[in-house]
Amino acid sequence: MAPTKQAAIVGVYLTEQAVQIDRSSQSLQLEALKGALADAGLEAKDLDGIIATGGESDAGRWSRQLGKPLVDAGKSCMGATAVAEAVAHINAGLCEVVVVVHGNSGFRIGPDQVRWSGSVVPDKAPRLDEWNASVWGMYIIPWYAQMARRHMYEFGTTSEQLANVAVTFRHHATLNPRSIMGKRGTITIEDVLNSRMVCEPLHLLDCCLANHGAYAFVVTTAERARNLKKKPVYVLGAASAVWNSPYEDLTPNYYPSPATITGPKAMAQAGVTHDDLDVLGIYDCFTITVVRLMEDLGFCKLGEGGSFVAEGNLTLNGKWPTNLDGGLLSHSHNGLPGGMHVVEVVRQLRGEVEPQRQVPNAKIGFCHDQGFAVLGRHGSCVLAVD
C-alpha cells in the first residue's frame, strides 16, 4: 500500500545568512515569508495558518501584520517538529496553508544570553527561575559538552570521531556559495582538535555558528500542492515528542532520547526504512548531537555513532548524504534553525541546488530537529517527490 501523502511543502526561502546583518529580525522574517509564498506561487491572502515563535515573532503579531486572523498552528518553530504541527493542523481541517517562519538579528547564542536589565550593574544578584541552570554558569555549550563527556565514558567515543562531523559538513559548506564558513575552505580533523577548547571536550569547531538570518517554508494539502508553481515535496510521515523542560531538568538518562520515538513513527507512516532514504537533514548544533541522533534514529546502534560518522556515512558520496548546505556547523545557525534542514532537503528533492552538492536523483529525504538540555525535544519527518 502506497503511503498517504499527508501534506506537501510547496515553498521555501532563505534570506542572506551572515554573522551580522544590519536589519531588524522582523524585516528578515518578512522577506522570508514573502519569499516562501512566492516560491510556491502563493500570496499572503492565501495564508491561513502560521508557526512562528521567538521573541518578537508570534502568531498574534503576524496576524496583525498581515491584516487578518490566522490559525496559530504550533509553537515549536523548528524544522521537522513544525512540519508535524503544520500537517496535523492541516489534516484536522483547521487551516489549509501554513507558513513556518523564523529569523533573527542581534541575538547571540552563548554565555551572554543571561542579560542584566539596564546598563547599571546591580548591587544585588539578579534572580532567575528556581532551577535556571544559568546559576551555574551554564549555557548551551556546557550542556552538550557534558553529554559528549558521558558518551566518551560509556562508549569510548573519541574527539577525533566527533571531529569527522565538523570536517564533513565544512566540506559540504565549501560546495555551497551561500554558506558562512564555506569560503574559509575545508578543515581537517587536526584543525578541529587544535581549535580552542570552549567547554571540554568540545572545541570551537565542534560548535555551530551563531549568526543572523531567516528562513520560511510553506505547507499545504497534497491536493492543492499539485496546482502550484514548484514540484510538490510531499510529507509522508511526521512526528514529534518532548522529554524535558528547557535547559533546567535533565532526563533521567541521555538514552534513549525521544528521537527513538519520532524517527520510527515518521518512517513507519511513510512506509520507508533507513535504506530508502536518499538525503538527510540532521540537527547539528554540535558534533556530538549528530552522533547521538544517528544512534537514536537507528542509522547505527547506541554507542556506535562515533565510528559511524568516522566511516564517512554522512558525506556527499556516503551512504546517507547529510546537511549538504554545510549545516548549522558551517552554513548557518540563526537562532531556531531546525527549518534550515527542511529547506535544504526540499531543495535537494526538487533537484535545484548547485550541481556540486546535489544528491543525484534524490527521491526520499528525512529531517530531524531537536532541542532542550539535551536531546529533550524532537521532530522527525519523511519528505518525498514523485
Partner 1 sequence: MTTQQKPLKPLPTPSRENKPFWDGLKQHEFRLQLCKACGSYRWLPKPACPNCLSEDTEWVKASGEGTLWTYSTVYRAGPAFADDIPFITAIVELKEKPLKCLVLSWLVNCKLEDVYVGMPVKVAFEAIPNEDITLYKFVPA
Binding site for partner 1 (CB under 8 A): 110-114, 116, 121-139, 141-142, 145-147, 149-150, 153, 196-202, 248-250, 252-253
371/245 Cα distance (integer angstroms)? 10
CA 229 to chain centre: 25
49/69 Cα distance (integer angstroms)? 9
Shortest separation between residue 124's beta carbon and partner 1, angstroms: 7
Shortest separation between residue 222's beta carbon and partner 1, angstroms: 40
Closer CB to partner 1, 129 or 352, in the complex: 129
217 neighbors 347 (Cβ within 8 angstroms): no
CB neighbours (10 Å) of residue 110?
Answer: 12
Bridge partners, residue 49, by sequence: 71, 98
Closer CB to partner 1, 60 or 126, in the complex: 126
Closer CB to partner 1, 202 or 383, in the complex: 202
Closer CB to partner 1, 129 or 354, in the complex: 129
Shortest separation between residue 250's beta carbon and partner 1, angstroms: 5
Amino acid type, 383: L
Closer CB to partner 1, 69 or 110, in the complex: 110
Shortest separation between residue 117's beta carbon and partner 1, angstroms: 11
259/295 Cα distance (integer angstroms)? 9
Report CA-CA distances (Å) from 376 to 78, 123, 220, 249, 272: 13, 36, 28, 10, 25
Bridge partners, residue 322, by sequence: 280
42/45 Cα distance (integer angstroms)? 8
Closer CB to partner 1, 5 or 377, in the complex: 377
> Which letter does DSSP use for residue 18 in this model?
B
Closer CB to partner 1, 113 or 194, in the complex: 113
Cell 533521567 belongs to residue: 252
121 neighbors 354 (Cβ within 8 angstroms): no
Shortest separation between residue 374's beta carbon and partner 1, angstroms: 11
216/166 Cα distance (integer angstroms)? 25
What number of residues does the chain have? 386
Shortest separation between residue 282's beta carbon and partner 1, angstroms: 23
Q: Side by side, which strands form the sheet with 213-220? A: 71-72, 49-51, 97-104, 213-220, 7-14, 233-242, 377-384, 364-371, 279-282
Shortest separation between residue 232's beta carbon and partner 1, angstroms: 43
Q: At what angle do helices 80-91 and 338-350 cross, to 10 degrees?
A: 80
Shortest separation between residue 332's beta carbon and partner 1, angstroms: 21
Closer CB to partner 1, 127 or 183, in the complex: 127
Coil vs helix vs strand at 355: helix
Q: Among 94, 368, 105, 351, which Cα is nearest to 237's?
A: 368
Closer CB to partner 1, 56 or 200, in the complex: 200
Shortest separation between residue 53's beta carbon and partner 1, angstroms: 24
